[in-house]
């Protein structure tokens, strides 16, 4: 018996250094959140995203492999505002990991930290098919919202992994100063009042930050496919307003936008990535914002 205890003590102390230096396992619901974690945590954590950059984050399959990943994670970073309502609860239930439950230390909900745009009115009904019931959840496409979230994320990472607090702090400072400078430069490239049409309300916060006016949406409501009548209305509006650009998020079908462009002289359709890894060359949030600015400025 004594021998066994001795052996146990030896094994325990041999393994201790491995566990004490184990990296924090972080999961994110989107690739944009993953990029934010990487920019603040560098190589101090292991981070993976459930959704790919080429997928509509409203509709992701709750795969059993995601549940296994969630069962081993220390921290989950989600968007909230019901973006993941159709799939994240299933993953969390399947993971049986109490740390990641909403309200627990291991679940960071970015959407709770920002002022949402397009808050629903009193007449709103989910039965309308609107997938933005708590306001627009695509807030990370405003670079300044990314800074707001990064600040709170830095504290969360430091709390769960105090050993690397100074790294998170240093990375956050660099991220903030680099991005603030880039926003100033990006603002100079966009003509305030530039008019666009978009498919879904994905770029609302981006447009808001850079003074771009979204004249019409190809979807009558977020998550509701366009009807023939709605498309006619969009064509009329585009002509009246003299819109020159239609932006389609690259996980939506551009057919409707192309149909509108046939009718509206001078309207150009651009299919754009709206997420990190939405195209192979978009490796982080800086690349993503740069690519969006390029799409609108030309």
Contacts of 81 (CB under 8 A, 6+ apart): 111, 116, 132, 134, 135, 136, 137
Spatial CA neighbour of 172 closest among 75, 27, 39, 28: 39
Q: Measured from the CB atom, is 222 or 273 closer to Zn ion?
A: 222
Q: How far is the CB of 204 from Zn ion (least distance, A)?
A: 9
Q: Which of 219, 216, 201 lies closest to 256 in space, CA to CA?
A: 219
**Smallest distance, Zn ion to C-beta of residue 76, A:** 20
The count of residues interacting with Zn ion (CB under 5 A) is: 1
We find the least distance from the C-beta atom of residue 132 to Zn ion, in angstroms, to be 6
Q: Which is nearer to Zn ion, 156 or 230 (CB)?
A: 230
3-state class (DSSP) for residue 93: helix
Of 158-166, 203-211, 215-223, 288-296: span binding Zn ion (CB under 5 A): 215-223
Q: Which of residues 13-32 bind Zn ion (CB under 5 A)?
A: none
Closest CA to 38 of 288, 290, 292: 288
Closer of 90 and 224 to Zn ion (Cβ): 224
Cross-strand partners of 231: none
Stretch that binds Zn ion, among 39-47, 147-155, 222-230, 278-286 (CB under 5 A): 222-230
| Closest CB 83 distance from Zn ion, rounded Å | 7
Shortest Cβ distance from residue 211 to Zn ion (Å)?
22
Burial class (CB in 10 A: 0-12, 13-18, 19+), 192: exposed
Using CB under 5 A, which residues numbered 81 to 110 contact Zn ion? Answer: none
Binding site for Zn ion (CB under 5 A): 222
């Amino acid at each position: 018996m004594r021998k066994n205890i001795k052996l146990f003590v030896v094994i325990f102390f041999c393994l201790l250094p491995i566990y004490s230096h184990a990296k924090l396992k972080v999961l994110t619901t989107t690739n944009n959140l993953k990029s934010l974690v990487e920019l603040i945590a560098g190589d101090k954590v292991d981070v993976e995203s459930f959704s790919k950059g080429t997928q509509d984050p409203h509709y992701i399959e709750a795969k059993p492999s995601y549940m296994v990943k969630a069962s081993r994670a220390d921290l989950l970073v989600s968007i909230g505002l019901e973006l993941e309502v159709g799939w994240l609860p299933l993953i969390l239930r399947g993971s049986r990991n109490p740390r990641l439950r909403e309200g627990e230390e291991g679940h960071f909900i970015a959407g709770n930290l920002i002022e949402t745009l397009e808050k629903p009115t009193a007449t709103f009904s989910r039965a309308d098919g609107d997938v933005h019931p708590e306001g627009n959840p695509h807030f990370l496409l405003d670079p300044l919202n990314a800074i707001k979230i990064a600040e709170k994320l830095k504290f969360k990472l430091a709390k769960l992994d105090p050993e690397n607090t100074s790294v998170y702090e240093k990375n956050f400072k660099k991220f903030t100063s680099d991005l603030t400078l880039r926003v100033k430069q990006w603002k100079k490239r966009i003509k305030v009042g530039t008019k666009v049409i978009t498919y879904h309300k994905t770029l609302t916060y981006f447009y808001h930050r850079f003074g771009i006016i979204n004249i019409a949406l190809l979807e009558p409501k977020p998550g509701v496919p366009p009807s023939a009548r709605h498309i006619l209305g969009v064509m009329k509006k585009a002509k009246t307003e003299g819109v020159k650009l239609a932006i389609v998020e690259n996980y939506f079908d551009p057919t409707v936008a192309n149909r509108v462009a046939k009718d509206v002289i001078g309207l150009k359709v651009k299919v754009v990535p709206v997420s990190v890894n939405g195209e192979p060359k978009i490796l982080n949030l800086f690349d993503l914002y740069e690519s969006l600015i390029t799409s609108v400025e030309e």
